[in-house]
Structures are given as structure tokens and as C-alpha cells.
Amino acid sequence: MRNKFSFCFLLASSLVILIFSDPVLAQDYGKLRGFVTDSTNGEALAFSNVFIKEINIGASTNERGLFILNQIPLSKQYDITISYVGYKTKNVSVFIESTDLIQVNVALTPLSIELQTIEKVGEKRVEKNSTDIGLERISIKELEYMPKGVETDVMRSLQTVPGVRSTGDVSARYYVRGGTSDQNLVLLNGITIYNPFHSLGLFSVIDPEMINSVEFFKGGFTAEYGGRISSVLNVISKDGNKKAFGFKGSASFLTAKALVEGPIPNGSFIISGRKSYSNDILKKFLNDQVVPIDFYDLSFKLNYASPDLWENGKFVLFGFISNDNLDYKDPFKENFKWRNGLIGFEWLQVYDIPLYSRIALSYSTFDGEVIPNFSSLKPKKNEVNDFNFSIDFTLVNDNKNELGLGLNFKGLTTKLYSINEQGAETDIDQFAGNFSIYAKYKLLQFEKFGVDIGSRINLTGLSESGEFTPEPRISTTYRIFSFLGLKAAWGIHLQELVALSDEDEIISIFEPWIIIPDYINATSAINYTGGFELDITDNVSIGVEGYYKIIKNLPVINREKTLSFEPDLVSGKGESYGWEFDLKYVSSRINFKSAYTLSWAYKEVNEYVFYPKYDSRHAVNISLEYNFGAGVIASAGWNFSSGLPFTELVGYYDKYYLLDPFKQNLGRGNYNPYLILGDRNLGRLPAYHRLDLSLSKLFNFYGISLALDVSAINVYNRGNIFYFERDTGKRVNMLPFLLTATARIEI
């Protein structure tokens, strides 16, 4: 069976390559390539638009600012229009004389403060046949002008995206289209972050100051991504200023941050760091409780690109570390510690074929620990070590079609020691290797039709059941009219890692990772997505997406484990489906977004079906941003969601507890209340809604930029319930009215 499948795959790949390399398609056409950057610092402008009006063809730049235009008729002068919202549009005249590849690099100039609108990366794309269903591109400027809980945070911004759920103001954890939080892959420069949260999950470890571009796939992600079944968050950090040395500093009520960047010979560097210095503001999040949260994160990036060494080649060295420590300084209270560490090297190369490649080597580690001291908590310690090597190639044909090939090797070690509430120990030390390959073909030669079809194959798996498992995927677009396009995607996704998450926990400190044990098959999901996008005018658009997801072999904590040799996990199932609607209006001064989501999510364990804690039937997100000019931008956001499920308390009785069951005097004991709970997650909390406002002002004087941001959170002081205390029945609310401010200075 394996040999047959391998033969079929190789035969199909060979046919694709033969079609792809048809020499007829390459005749009498020229090719144009280039990089689009910011003129002030040399940073790549990802997802900017490049367009040739005379022949009505265009392209968007990738995360490196690279664009490729093919099928350009010869012996003619063309005007190339390069645009990126928030920058001055530039026209470049190019004469296409021969079939040789021509390279044109373009630097765009930012608009003045008086004219500059809120930068909307990728709102309008040139390619009408783009196969990007379920893809959200998030602008860093958009993040900066959104109302803030305390400060800008990329994870919290995801919670306003249709199809994404949270469980409250206290946590930045997110749940995508009915999937659990560990089913979301978080990549920083292509390296996996296993615990991307600070401060009890309140904030992301990724400092927005270091971000260049963000892509978020909430479904339909294609064959180059593996290891998760729900979503992919792909964050690319800045390279650093290639023109001049610079410094940025900022402070909020929680943290102080600094960033240094500048040029080096044939390259640039950037170093950023953030440190918490006060916990007072967190009392608003934690019901006036004092929690000794102490965290920091630090990153660096070095870039080297010398044409003398390798034309259009780039070498990158990246490092990142984050650390959290909760120490009460009280022997009768527990302590918590967790840390992420990343180091990675990549070689990015663009060839004249045109072909571009990425070769990457990285190491990612995570360790977390619960230290109970003399408290009632149980000890827990988790360690993850991830070594990864990957090679990716993308070949772009003259007819715009693309062939993508890649291989990935991952060596992974996970260790876990814990004791559950019944006293049963878990002691796991696993090492496994995964070797996977992928191939995909992107058909883009037709103006109104596009398709991305491919598959991953795990030649070896982290678990036994993951070995030689294909993951076929397809994403397609058909544009009926220039203003109306239909989109659909289907795919099978596999996951061999699981984070042990207890749904009864109000706040997850950290969720330990383990390789799925061999007594449970690897988790898999079948994702169906379909919808349409309608451009009513140049400024107004409507999008509708529907999805259906089936999750098989869903690992769930075994609550019945009482002995150490019993399994830690049992296998369950999951199902989710829903509809997402969004309306957008974008003009020179106004950016308006509204979205409505109708969704259902279910889990089944031991033949019992229940709603997961993040299931909410209705969700509405409305945001409005207005540019007054002169560096003043105001924004407002209103969010609504119907109640989350919870397990109701139906009563209690006085239960007799022996003080010492091994003594003969059985009369020595106490009667204490014993809670009687109803069916799991059958109750519903009241609906959640909240209005946030923000005002930003940018000042420029003597070459120094100063930005002041003020945000008002939960303006009308809505008492959104967080949970009911089970022992007292007391209602605990989420974040009340909160006024925050941030100041940023750039030299």
C-alpha cells in the first residue's frame, strides 16, 4: 500500500512538473521582479500592490516585499504602479525588451502626518483569483490604534476576528472555529512558540514593536503548514533600520519597553526588550487580587545581504527569550515559573529562474513549573525541546502558476511530571522524530479562477499512528464577476502534540505539552470552508464564510485516573460549524468594520456530548477608526457575545470527613459541605458586551516622534460575569471601567 501511494504521488508530481515547464508558455514574454521597501528604514513592505494597467496584471508582495510579474509582452514601455496604503503611490517606467528577467527595486515614502491614514495592509489585493479564504492580514498600525486592555497586543486583537472566541477579559488565549487553544500554531519567524503568553495568559509574549507583518489563517491553510488542526498565526519580525541608527522607548501602566536598531555592513540589526515593573493595573483584571506577576521578553535579529557574496540572498540570525515568575514570598502559597527560548538561522534566496527558497535551522524550548510549597496545589513540571530543519522551494512559471516543494525534519523531546487531585503520578519522558514532505501547485494563470492544491505526507511520525499519513488540501477561488468571487477550501490536518488543558480551570497558568501517547491515535480534523466576497464599491465590501469541522481522536484529560499506571488521556471527538459575516468600509479617513458570527461547537467523551467552555452561539464585533489629520486618530470598538457554558451548582450536602481514617476512633471527623454539580456545561452565563474608546496623537519635533495613546475600556462599566464561586455562589465579574495610557518616543 505504501509503495503504491508513493508511486502515485511521484507520478502526479512528475506530471505537474512537466505541465509546469511547458516551453510554449514561456515564449515571447518578459518577466519583472523586485522588492518593495520603506524609503526611511529599508523595511520590507509586505502585501503591497504592484500593477501594470496597460495589460491589467498585478501582484502582491510577499512577507519579504518580493513581487514577480510574468507574461509581459515584449518591446514595449510600461508604467508600473506600486501602492501601499499609508505611503505615497509610486509610478516606475520600465521597457521590457527581452525574455530576460528584469529586476526593479522600489522604495515607497510614508505620507506626511497630516495626510497619513491608518495603514491597512492587504485590504485591497490586485489578484482577483487569490486563494486566501480564511486568511486575515493584520496591520501593526491597526493594532496600535485599537483600544487597549493595557497596551497593544497581537493575541488580543485576534479575539475581534470572526470565528475566534475567548473566555473573557482575563485571558488572551483564543479558540478558532470550535478548536481548542493548543490546536493553534504560533510561529515567530517560522519557529514554534509553545507558550506564547505572559501573566497568567493575560498578554502575548510577542512585543508588537518588533513585528513587521502578521498573517492569521483561521481555516483552509495550505500544505506548507503542519502540526496543528485549527489555525496558524505567522508573525515576521522587523529586520531593523538599514538607513540609520534609531531608538524607541515606551511605557504603559504595566511595562517599560526599549528597541534599538540600525545598519551594519551589508545588513541591519534590531534588539527589543520589555519588562514588567508594576502589578497595580492587573488588579482590575483579577478581581482586586494581588498577584506578584513578574515577566520580561527579549529578542534580537541580525540580517546580512551582500550582492558580492550572493545576489538577492539574505542571511538571518534570530533569537528570542521570555520569562515569567510568580513568587508570593510566602511558604504557604504556590509559585509558578515558565520560560520560552528560540534561536534560528535562515537563508533566503531569490534566483533568476524565477525561483526562491528558504533553508532554516531552529531550536525552540519551553519549560514550566508549579512549585506548591506548603499549599494545597500539586507539583507539575513540563519541558519541551524542539529541533527543526526545513527546506522550502517556490518556482514561479511564466504563466504565474507556482510549484511549491518542501521538507521538514523535527526532533522533539517532551517531559512531564505531575500529580493529579487523586494523588496519581504522571512521569513522561518522550523523544520522537517527524520527517515530512509537502508539494503544492498553485494555478493562477486564469484571471477569474485560482486553485491551490497539495498535500503533506508524514514519512515518520511523532506518534505511531502519525507515520506515513497524507494530509491533502485544496483551496480555490472563482470570480463570477469582477466584483463577486466565490471561495472554498477543504483539507485534512494532523496533530501529534497535545497540551493538557483542564476546562474546569478559571485561569490556565500554563498548559503542559506532551507527544500524544501510542494508546491514542493522532488527532486529525477534516475542515470544510466556503463563502463569497462582494465588492459593492471601491470602499465597501461584504464577506461571508461558512465552515464545518470534524475532529477525530481528540485527547482529553482522564478524570478517572487514580493509579499511576492508568492512562493520562482518553480519546474523544469534536464537531463545530458556523457562519461568519463581515462588512467593511475603508476611505481616506474612515475605517469601519462590522462582523457577526453564528456558530456551534461540541465535544464527545465516553459517549457524553457537551459544549466546550468557549462555545458561544452569537458574536458581534464593530470597530470604527477616524483620522482627524494632524496626527490625531480616534477609534471605538463594541463587542457582544452570547453567554458561555458553565456547570451549574444544583445543591450540596454535609459530607463526613475522617480526620485520620487509620485510627480506630472513627468518631473523630468533621462534616463539610460537598458540592453537587449538574450536567457538564449545561448552564449558560449572561451575555457579554463592552464598549472601548481610544485616542492617539503623534507629535514630531526636532527629529523626535512622540506618540500618546489614551484608552477607555468598558466605557459604560458593564458588569460582565467571569464566574460564580462554587463554595459561596458569589458572582465574580470581569474587567470594570478602566482608563489606560501609553507613551512612545522614537529617535
Q: Give the SS3 label for residue 651.
A: strand
Q: E strands of 180-287, at which residues?
A: 184-188, 191-192, 197-198, 203-204, 211-217, 231-237, 246-251, 255-264, 267-276
* Angstrom distance (rounded) from CA 724 to CA 96: 70
- Other CB atoms closer than 10 Å to residue 685's CB: what's the count? 18
pLDDT digits (tens, 9 = 90+) for 149-174: 677 888 888 888 899 998 888 778 89
Q: What is the pLDDT of residues 506-558, one digit of tens each?
A: 667 778 999 999 889 999 999 999 999 999 998 899 999 999 999 999 998 88
Choose the weakest-confidence range: 106-120, 125-139, 190-204, 472-486: 106-120
Mean pLDDT score of the chain:
84
> What percent of the chain clears pLDDT 70, i.e. is strictly above it?
87
Instruction: Band the pLDDT of 383: cuts 50, 70, 90.
Output: very high
Give residue-wise pLDDT tens across range 351-361: 887 889 999 99
- For residue 106, give the C-alpha cell: 522600489
Cell numbers given for 495: 496533530
Q: Catalogue the long-range contacts made by 541-544 (C-beta closer than 8 Å, 24 or more residues apart).
A: 541/583, 541/584, 542/581, 542/582, 542/583, 542/584, 543/580, 543/581, 543/582, 543/584, 544/579, 544/580, 544/581, 544/582
The predicted pLDDT at position 3 comes to 42
At residue 593, the pLDDT reads 92
Question: Could you tell me which of 641, 722, 737 has the C-alpha nearest to residue 689?
Answer: 641
In this structure, are residues 161 and 167 in contact, taking their beta carbons and an 8 Å threshold?
Answer: no
Give the three-state DSSP class for 238: coil
pLDDT band at 592 (very low <50, low <70, confident <90, very high): very high
Domains by residue range for the chain, with CATH:
2-108 (2.60.40.1120), 135-647+682-746 (2.40.170.20)
CB 735 within 8 A of CB 711: no
**Which range in 244-253, 295-304, 308-317 is most confidently predicted, on average pLDDT?**
295-304
What is the C-alpha R_g of the chain?
A: 27
Q: Determine the pLDDT at residue 298.
A: 96
pLDDT at 115: 44
**Looking at residue 673, what is its pLDDT?**
63
Q: Which three cell numbers stand for residue 509?
A: 497558568
Query: What's the length of the chain?
Result: 747
CA–CA separation, 422 vs 393, rounded Å? 51
175: its cell numbers: 479558540
What pLDDT sits at residue 17? Answer: 46
Cβ-proximal residues to 102 (8 Å cutoff; 6+ apart), any chain = 30, 31, 32, 33, 94, 96
Least confident of 141-155, 208-222, 524-538: 141-155
Query: What was the pLDDT predicted at 116?
Result: 42
Cβ proximity of 497 and 182 under 8 Å = yes
pLDDT in tens, 75-133: 888 999 998 877 888 999 998 888 788 889 999 988 764 444 333 333 444 566 677 88
More confident residue, 276 or 201: 276
Distance CA 68, CA 91 (A): 16
**Grid cell for residue 450:** 485560482
Instruction: Give the pLDDT confidence score for residue 734 in this predicted structure.
Output: 84
Count of CA atoms in the C-beta half-sphere (13 A) of 135: 21
pLDDT per position as a tens digit, 264-307: 999 999 999 999 887 777 777 766 666 778 899 999 999 999 88
Lowest mean pLDDT of 116-130, 364-378, 558-572, name the range.
116-130
Count of CB atoms situated within 10 Å of the CB of 651: 10
Mean pLDDT of 367-390: 91
